[in-house]
C-alpha cells in the first residue's frame, strides 16, 4: 500500500464483544489513506473470525497472528509492519470518532510535530455516560492559541509527564520519530507497560502539538480488559518494576533531580492505587512491599502537605502501621473517629439549628404577644374613647333634659299663676250680681221648661237663697262655674 498517511495498530485479544465497533470506527474514517494493522495476540474466542470477515471487506486491513505475548509486544509487532507517515494505537474494545484521523493528521502535518496529543472520553456503557478526560493543555496556554500552528515541549506542560494519563492511544506519533529509537519500552507480558513508554516519548519529542477535538472513546466498563484483569492477577506486582524503570529513564535523561517531587508523587500514586485495587489474595504481600518503598521515600512535612488528600492518606496510613490487619483496624478507627466527628458536627449544627429555631419561635411568639397586647390596648383605648364619647353625649342629653325640665317647670308655674289669676277673676265674676242674675235666668228657663217637679222645687230654694245671699246644698249643682273654679 502506497502513500499511507496513518497506520493504525490494534492489538486484539479475546474482544469479540466489542471488536466490530472498533473496526467499524477505523474502516469508516473520513481520512481514507490509512493502513489498519490488527495483531491477533493468541485470541481464543471469536475475534480471529471477525478479523477474517473484515479483511474480506477492506483490503486496507492486515492481520498478523502471534502467540500471546501481551499488548506491548503486539503493538511493537504492528509498529514494525506499519508503512504510514504517522502511527495511531487503538485498543480493540475502544473506538475512534469518524473524523479523528483526519483532524489529528492535519494537525500533525500543519505543525510538523513528532507527537500529537488529544483529549479522550471515558465511556461507561452501564450508565451510557461519557466523561471528557486526558490532557487539559488549554490550561497552560493563552485562549487565542491556534493549535494547528503551535508546538511545545514537555517542559511547557511539566505536570503531565508523571501526573497525567499514560496510555499510548491518545497520541498520534510521527513514524520517523517513534521508529528513530530502538529502545522504546515494549516488554513481554508486562502490565502497566504504557507508563515508561509514555515518559520516554514525552521526554524525547522536540515538537509536541495538541488537537482539542473529540477523538478517542475509551471503554472503562469492560471487565475483560487488561487493566481490569490486573486487579485479580499477580501481575499487579509489575508496578514495582514499572516505577523503577521510570526512575531509570529520568536518571538517563538527567531529569531525576528536576522531577524529584513529581516522581515521588507518581510513585506513591501508582503503588498506593494498585495496593488499594488489587485482589485480597495479594494484599498482605503487597502491603509489606509498598511499606518498604514508602519508608525509603522519607518525605518532609511540607512535601506530605503538597500531596493531595488521597495520596497523603494512603502514604501516612501505611507508614503508621506494621501489618495489613493493623492498617485495616487503624483505618476503621479513623473511620469511626471521622464518623463521630461528623456526627458531632451534625449534632452541633442540629443543636444550633434547634436553638435558632427556638429563638425564632420565641421571637415570633413574643412578637405575637406584643402585637396581641398592643391590639388589646388599642381596643381598650378605643372602647374608653367610645365610652367617654357616649358618656359625654348622655351627660349633654341629661343637661339638655334638665334645662328643658326647668323650662317646663317655669312654664307650668307660669300656667299655674295664670290659672290662679283666672280663678281669682272667675271668683270675682261669680260674686257679681249681673252673673248671678244672668245665670239665674238661664237655669230658670232650663229647669222650668225641661225639669221635673223635684228639680223645680230645688231650684226655687236655690233661687231664693241666691236672692237672699244664703248658700244651699245645691250650690254646685246649679252653678257649674264653681266646679270649674274648684
Domain with 280, as residue range(s), is 233-320
What is the pLDDT averaged over residues 282-298? 91
H or E element at residue 413: helix 324-430
Please provide residue 415's backbone torsions phi and psi, each rounded to the nearest 5 degrees: -65, -40
Task: Judge whether 193 and 72 are in contact, CB under 8 Å.
Answer: yes
Is 405 inside a domain boundary? no
What is the pLDDT averaged over residues 110-138? 85
Please provide residue 251's backbone torsions phi and psi, each rounded to the nearest 5 degrees: -65, -45
Is 332 inside a domain boundary? no
Is 473 inside a domain boundary? yes
Q: 416-429, pLDDT tens digit by residue?
A: 888 888 878 777 77
Task: Judge whether 200 and 184 are in contact, CB under 8 Å.
Answer: yes
What is the pLDDT averaged over residues 3-19? 96
What is the pLDDT averaged over residues 207-234? 72
pLDDT at 127: 77
| Domains contained in the chain, number | 3
CATH classification of the domain holding 111: 3.90.550.10
Which of 152-161, 216-225, 276-285 is the least confident region? 216-225
Residue that terminates a domain, selected from 266, 289, 320: 320
pLDDT at 82: 96
pLDDT at 386: 86
Task: Tell me the β-bridge partners of 10.
Answer: 38
Question: Are residue 252 and residue 310 in the same domain, yes or no?
Answer: yes
Question: Are residue 245 and residue 135 in the same domain, yes or no?
Answer: no
What is the pLDDT averaged over residues 183-193? 76
Question: Are residue 286 and residue 243 in the same domain, yes or no?
Answer: yes
pLDDT at 391: 87
Instruction: Tell me the HSE value of 112 on the side-chain side, using a 13 A CA sphere.
Output: 0
Residue that terminates a domain, selected from 294, 320, 346: 320
Question: Are residue 109 and residue 253 in the same domain, yes or no?
Answer: no
Amino acid at each position: 500500500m502506497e502513500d499511507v498517511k496513518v497506520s493504525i495498530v490494534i492489538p486484539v485479544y479475546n474482544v469479540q464483544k466489542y471488536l466490530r465497533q472498533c473496526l467499524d470506527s477505523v474502516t469508516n474514517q473520513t481520512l481514507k489513506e490509512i493502513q489498519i494493522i490488527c495483531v491477533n495476540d493468541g485470541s481464543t474466542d471469536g475475534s480471529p473470525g471477525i478479523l477474517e470477515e473484515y479483511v474480506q471487506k477492506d483490503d486496507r486491513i492486515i492481520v498478523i497472528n502471534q502467540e500471546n505475548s501481551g499488548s506491548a509486544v503486539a503493538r511493537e509487532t504492528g509498529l514494525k509492519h506499519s508503512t504510514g507517515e504517522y502511527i495511531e494505537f487503538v485498543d480493540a474494545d475502544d473506538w475512534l470518532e469518524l473524523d479523528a484521523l483526519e483532524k489529528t493528521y492535519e494537525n500533525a502535518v500543519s505543525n510538523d510535530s513528532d507527537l500529537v496529543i488529544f483529549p479522550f472520553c471515558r465511556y461507561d456503557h452501564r450508565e451510557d455516560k461519557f466523561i471528557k478526560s486526558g490532557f487539559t493543555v488549554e490550561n497552560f496556554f493563552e485562549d487565542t492559541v491556534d493549535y494547528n500552528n503551535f508546538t511545545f515541549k514537555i517542559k511547557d506542560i511539566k505536570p503531565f509527564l508523571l501526573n497525567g494519563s499514560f496510555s499510548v492511544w491518545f497520541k498520534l506519533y510521527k513514524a520517523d520519530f517513534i521508529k528513530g529509537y530502538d529502545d522504546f519500552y515494549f516488554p513481554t507480558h508486562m502490565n502497566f507497560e504504557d507508563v515508561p513508554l509514555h515518559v520516554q516519548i514525552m521526554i524525547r519529542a522536540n515538537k509536541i502539538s495538541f488537537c482539542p477535538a473529540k477523538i478517542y472513546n475509551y471503554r472503562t466498563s469492560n471487565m475483560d480488559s487488561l487493566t481490569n484483569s490486573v486487579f485479580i492477577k499477580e501481575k499487579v506486582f509489575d508496578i514495582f518494576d514499572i516505577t523503577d524503570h521510570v526512575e531509570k529513564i529520568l536518571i538517563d535523561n538527567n531529569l531525576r533531580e528536576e522531577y524529584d517531587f513529581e516522581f515521588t508523587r507518581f510513585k506513591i500514586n501508582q503503588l498506593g492505587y494498585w495496593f488499594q485495587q488489587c485482589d485480597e489474595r495479594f494484599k498482605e504481600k503487597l502491603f509489606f512491599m509498598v511499606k518498604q518503598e514508602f519508608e525509603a521515600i522519607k518525605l518532609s512535612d511540607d512535601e506530605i502537605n503538597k500531596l493531595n488528600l488521597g495520596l497523603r492518606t494512603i502514604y501516612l496510613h501505611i507508614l503508621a502501621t506494621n501489618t495489613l490487619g493493623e492498617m485495616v483496624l487503624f483505618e476503621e478507627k479513623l473511620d469511626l473517629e471521622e464518623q463521630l466527628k461528623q456526627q458531632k458536627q451534625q449534632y452541633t449544627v442540629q443543636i444550633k439549628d434547634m436553638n435558632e429555631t427556638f429563638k425564632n419561635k420565641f421571637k415570633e411568639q413574643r412578637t405575637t404577644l406584643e402585637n396581641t397586647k398592643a391590639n388589646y390596648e388599642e381596643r381598650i383605648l378605643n372602647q374608653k374613647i367610645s365610652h367617654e364619647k357616649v358618656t359625654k353625649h348622655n351627660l349633654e342629653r341629661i343637661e339638655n333634659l334638665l334645662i328643658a325640665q326647668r323650662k317646663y317647670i317655669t312654664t307650668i308655674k307660669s300656667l299655674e299663676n295664670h290659672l290662679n289669676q283666672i280663678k281669682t277673676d272667675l271668683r270675682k265674676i261669680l260674686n257679681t250680681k249681673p252673673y248671678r242674675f244672668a245665670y239665674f235666668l238661664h237655669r230658670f228657663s232650663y229647669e222650668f221648661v225641661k225639669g221635673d217637679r223635684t228639680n223645680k222645687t230645688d231650684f226655687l230654694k236655690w233661687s231664693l237663697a241666691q236672692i237672699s245671699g244664703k248658700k244651699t246644698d245645691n250650690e254646685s249643682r246649679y252653678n257649674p262655674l264653681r266646679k270649674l273654679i274648684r
